[in-house]
Amino acid sequence: SIIEVSLSIFDAIRGVRKSIEITEGATTRKISIHVPPGVRNGSVIRFRQKGSAGEEVVIIARVAAHPALSMTPKGLVVEVPI
């Protein structure tokens, strides 16, 4: 399964535990995932589920824009109006 997960920039910086729903055909199930600190927009995170024959869940992180903070390859940038 490939699932996109929306994150705030603060969740992306600190890491977060999220509960997501996976729909397969007529069944829906909830799983809990841990998004590690420092993920960036478009990061791909792979999880193997316990007890389901090694099923892999692929998470694509979508980090919401923030008016004053942004993440660059060099780190976190804060824009302060003067």
- The token pair at 10 is 């603060």
Q: What is the mean pLDDT of residues 46-56?
A: 73
Residue 53 pLDDT? 62
Beta strands in the chain (DSSP E): 2-7, 16-24, 27-35, 44-48, 56-63, 69-72, 75-78
Residue-wise pLDDT for 9-40, tens only, equals 999 999 999 998 888 788 888 888 999 999 99
CB-based burial, 27-40: b 16+ in 10 Å, e otherwise = eeeebebebeeebe
Residue 29 pLDDT? 83
DSSP letter at 14 equals H
Rounded Cα distance between 1 and 58, Å, is: 6
Rounded Cα distance between 67 and 37, Å, is: 20
Residue 71 pLDDT? 87
Q: What is the mean pLDDT of residues 44-57?
A: 77
